Amino acid sequence: MPRDRFGREIDYLRISLIDHCNLRCVYCMPLTGATFLPSADLLAANEIEIVARAAVAVGFRRIRLTGGEPTLRADLIEIVERIARIPALADLALTTNGILLPRLAPALVAAGLRRVNVHCDTLDPERLARVMRLGSFAEIWAGILAAEEAGLTPIKLNAVVVRGYNDADVVALAALTRARDWHVRFIELMPLGVGEPAEVSRQKYVPSAETRAHIETALGPLAALPIVDAADEARNYRLADGRGTIGFISPVSEPYCGTCNRMRLTADGRFHLCLLNDDELDVRAALRRGGEAAVAEVLLAAVLAKPVGHRLSAGHTIEHREMFQLGG
Residues at the interface with ligand SAM (CB under 6 A):
21, 25, 27-28, 66-67, 69, 95-97, 119, 158, 160, 187, 189-190, 192, 201, 323-324, 327-328
CB of 30 vs ligand SF4, minimal distance in Å = 10
Nearest distance from C-beta of residue 134 to ligand SF4, angstroms = 8
Residues near 116 by Cβ (< 8 Å), separated by ≥ 6? 93, 94, 95, 96, 98, 101, 105, 108, 147, 152, 155, 156
Distances from the Cα of 298 to the Cα of 47, 54, 77, 237, 280, angstroms: 15, 10, 27, 38, 11
How far is CA 253 from its chain centroid? 19
Residue 130 touches ligand SF4, criterion: CB under 6 A: no
- Region of 102 on the Ramachandran plot (φ > 0 left; ψ -120 to 50 alpha; else beta): alpha
Determine which residue in the list 2, 68, 143, 269 makes contact with ligand SF4, applying CB under 6 A: 68
By the rule CB under 6 A, 191 interacts with ligand SF4? no
Interaction of residue 119 with ligand SF4, rule CB under 6 A: yes
Closest contact distance (angstroms) between CB of 191 and ligand SF4 is: 14
Q: In angstroms, what is the minimal distance from the CB of 119 to ligand SF4?
A: 6
Beta bridge partners of 271: 265, 281
23 binds ligand SF4 (CB under 6 A): yes
Distance, in Å, from the CA atom of 213 to the CA atom of 232, rounded to the nearest integer, reads: 22
Residue 267 binding result from ligand SF4, ligand SAM, none, given CB thresholds of 5 to 8 Å by partner type: none
C-alpha 158/C-alpha 117 separation (Å) is 7
* Partner whose binding site includes residue 24, from ligand SAM, ligand SF4, none (CB under 5 to 8 Å by kind): ligand SF4
Least distance between ligand SAM and beta carbon 96 (Å): 5
Q: Give CA–CA dist 66/61, Å, rounded.
A: 17
Going by their DSSP bridges, the two strands 234-239 and 222-224 should be labelled as antiparallel
Under the binding rule (CB under 6 A), the answer on residue 97 touching ligand SF4 is yes
**How much helix, strand and coil, in percent to the nearest 5, is found in the chain?**
40, 20, 45
Name the one range near ligand SF4 by CB under 6 A: 4-12, 24-32, 207-215, 280-288.
24-32
Residues that bind ligand SF4 in the complex, under the rule CB under 6 A: 21, 23-25, 28-29, 67-69, 97, 119, 132, 323-324
